[in-house]
Amino acid sequence: MRIGICSYSFHRTGAAGKMDIFSFIATSKEMGCTQLDPWNAHLSLAATGADVLAHGADPGKSTVEPPMDDAFLARVDAAAKAAGLPFGCIAVDGAHIFSADPAERAANRRRALRWIEIAARLGADSVRIDAGGTAELPAAMLADIAAGYKDVIAFARARGIQVVMENHWGSSNVPENVVRILDAVPGLGYLFDTHNWAEGRQQDGWRLTAGRATCTHIKTWRFDAQGNEVTVDLKPVFARLRDAGFRGPWGVESVPEDGDELTAARQTIALIRRLAGEGATSGKAAAGAKS
């Protein structure tokens, strides 16, 4: 099983000055992860603690500036190699594809290309770049989003990086819009988040898009004494992913109500291992019964 923690799971810990990218790498190793999935605010040398909180609170207005210091990136790369953990998906805010403002769109594209270069420098598998736009997603907007994604995908492909979109905000928290965008952009991967859906659309999102997932964010908020997430029953979504033959990495994105981010990440890893493993166990038992 491939598993990583999106470092947004530690955004409050980081904003308080108690975790940087290097201690994130060490924490991921200690928790048994197989890859590193940093949120780009934790790779940005320009982001202060207050900035980290602001970027996380409103990704549609985020302007996370990528580092230009190659010596810093070399240190990050060396720390990851020392831990024996490859980079998986870098979740990029501040580089979304659609904006009605040409200047903002140009700035976003500049950041997107630089983050792709950084992903290649670190040997990452993929970068998450949001679609932007609005829930209505008129045809002209969809065409602009598709053209923008095709541009960054070509740039990324030449560097061995996959671009993935996420159901996140703007146009992409509407399940039908996710399907429309994915259908319009060959080669675009999909980071499936269990939670980020428009009000009342979570079950539709699971039904319509789980089968398109190339990687995941399993969102958790609160656990009971038995290690179950109590705000939402996640068993059905794990079943959908198994039925679709999902073989990609499992991503932790815990946002604990009590603020204990380290404990929540551990609990989410345990939950993923149990729920993802239940299908494998039952499958083996069924296969054994038939033989």
10-59 per-position pLDDT tens digit: 999 999 999 999 999 999 999 999 999 999 999 998 777 878 887 777 88
* DSSP per-residue letters across 67-83: P--HHHHHHHHHHHHHH
Could you tell me which residues are beta bridge partners of residue 206? none
The single-letter DSSP state of residue 66 is P
Average pLDDT over all residues of the chain: 93
Residues sharing a CB contact under 8 Å with residue 74, sequence separation 6 or more, in sequence order: none
Q: What is the pTM of this model?
A: 0.93
Residue 69, Cβ neighbours under 10 Å: how many? Answer: 9
Q: Are 255 and 220 in contact (CB under 8 A)?
A: yes
Q: What is the pLDDT of residues 142-159, one digit of tens each?
A: 999 999 999 999 999 999
- Check: CATH 3.40.50.980 for 3-290? no
Q: In what order do the strands lie in the sheet with 189-193?
A: 3-5, 250-254, 215-220, 189-193, 162-166, 126-129, 89-92
Q: What is the pLDDT of residues 271-281, one digit of tens each?
A: 999 999 865 44
Residue 209 banded pLDDT, cuts 50, 70, 90: very high
pLDDT at 47: 75
Residue 290 banded pLDDT, cuts 50, 70, 90: very low
